[in-house]
Amino acid sequence: MIAHGKGIKVFTGNSNPALAELICKNLGVSIGCSTVSSFADGECAISIMEPVRGLDVFIVQSTCKPVNDSLMELLVMIDALRRASAGRITAVIPYFGYARQDRKTRGRDPISAKLVANMIEAAGADRVLTMDLHAAQIQGFFDIPVDHLHATPVLDEFIMKMNLPQDKLMVVSPDEGSIKRAQAHADNLNCPLAVVDKRRTSATETRQANLIGPSVEGKTVILFDDMISTAGSITGAAKMVKEAGAEKIYLCATHGVFCGDALNKLNNAPIDGLAVTNTIYIPEDQRPNNTVVVDVSAMLAEAVRRIHYNESVSMLFKSRY
Ligand code: R5P
């Protein structure tokens, strides 16, 4: 296959350098030399410390907490690399923030996900590589190619290695919006699926109304979601499943956003374990009890390699949803 540009170069902002290092390790390249700091007034200060002319450049930056700083670092870094004559720039955004503001739910609402897409393009990105967007249609907010990966195979492999009793295994979707994702997991894990009927009671509060589908009594339940933010949705679902008689409950999500009272809620929820991926860096002392961090760097690195060599990225998936 013919490679794009003179070679691969990976840079990182401050949001998740550990993941960027792992991606580089998988690719067998060293991380690009740059400094990402701030001026005295808080403005973002970026210096690219090595030539990038003609290179196929990848910037790894999740737009997670502090969201606006992470986003601004990404934009300024794209600008710096564009002006330094990089051959092509791919924004690798393992966790894409602002994704939940993807439509107007009331009059005069912004569509912030579209604004962020416009900003990334205006800064000079040629492509985007991301993982488990909150809403897949955000791909269409960009007029540049977007490769959208799913953590499904990596999370399912992790679950399979737990050797849970197959006859008791059951996947539960914590809301209707996650049914397709949950169905893909249930298919991979070869087990039944049930769905929690989640109702929104206010902008920040939800309640779990019904459990739809086969009985969870005596079952080993795995709840899958794209993200755990305040943890209201997934802990509410865990409580409902527990009350319905589930024997064991495990939570799995791609993005551990963990904000507000999430730690407290998760530590007090009726769960036996929790797995999130490393799309967002979570310091050990900020992880809920019994958290396992599942590494998605190999998948991201393989996508980077395929983009560089103009190979199919969709071939990475066993299942699509
Ligand atoms: C809902 O639409 C999503 O799939 C997640 O369930 C939700 O965004 C998680 O948010 P929180 O943890 O604040 O309930």
Q: How confident is the model at residue 319 (pLDDT cuts 50, 70, 90)?
A: low
Q: Are 103 and 110 in contact (CB under 8 A)?
A: no
Name the residues annotated as catalytic. Answer: 198
> In the prediction, which pLDDT does 94 show?
98
Note the pLDDT tens digit of each residue in 279-312: 999 999 999 999 999 999 999 999 999 999 999 9
> In the prediction, which pLDDT does 50 show?
98
For ligand 1, the distance from its centroid to the CA atom of residue 13, given in whole angstroms, is: 26
Asked whether the predicted pLDDT for residue 144 surpasses 80, the reply is yes
Higher pLDDT, 93 or 201: 93
Give the DSSP H or E segment for 128: strand 127-131
> In the prediction, which pLDDT does 209 show?
83
Q: CA distances (Å), 239 to each of 159, 210, 211, 278, in order?
A: 21, 12, 11, 26
Separation between Cα atoms, residue 242 and residue 122, nearest integer Å: 48
Ligand 1 atom nearest residue 257's Cα: 12
DSSP readout, 268-312? TSS-SEEEEETTS---GGGSPTTEEEEP-HHHHHHHHHHHHTT--
Q: Whose CA is nearest to atom 5 of ligand 1?
A: 227
Asked whether the predicted pLDDT for residue 217 surpasses 90, the reply is yes
> In the prediction, which pLDDT does 262 show?
97
Q: To the nearest whole percent, how much of the chain has pLDDT over 70?
A: 98
Whole-prediction pTM: 0.96
Section 169-178 average pLDDT: 95
Q: Are 93 and 114 in contact (CB under 8 A)?
A: no
Q: Are 14 and 63 in contact (CB under 8 A)?
A: no
Burial string for 221-237 (b: 16+ CB within 10 Å, else e) reads: bbbbbbbbbbbbbbbbb
Choose one of 229, 265, 280 to mutate for the ligand 1 pocket test, by most ligand atoms within 8 angstroms of C-beta.
229
Closest by Cα among 47, 103, 38, 40 to 66: 38
Q: Whose CA is nearest to atom 1 of ligand 1?
A: 177
Note the pLDDT tens digit of each residue in 34-67: 999 999 999 999 999 999 999 999 999 999 999 9
Higher pLDDT, 172 or 315: 172
> Ligand 1 pocket, 231 CB below 6 A?
yes
> In the prediction, which pLDDT does 41 show?
97
Q: Whose CA is nearest to atom 10 of ligand 1?
A: 229
> Ligand 1 pocket, 174 CB below 6 A?
yes
Q: How confident is the model at residue 321 (pLDDT cuts 50, 70, 90)?
A: low
Q: To the nearest whole percent, how much of the chain has pLDDT over 90?
A: 91
Give the mean pLDDT of the chain: 95
> Ligand 1 pocket, 230 CB below 6 A?
yes
Higher pLDDT, 210 or 63: 63
Section 204-221 average pLDDT: 91
> In the prediction, which pLDDT does 203 show?
67
Beta bridge partners of 93: 130
Ligand 1 atom nearest residue 100's Cα: 8
> In the prediction, which pLDDT does 3 show?
82
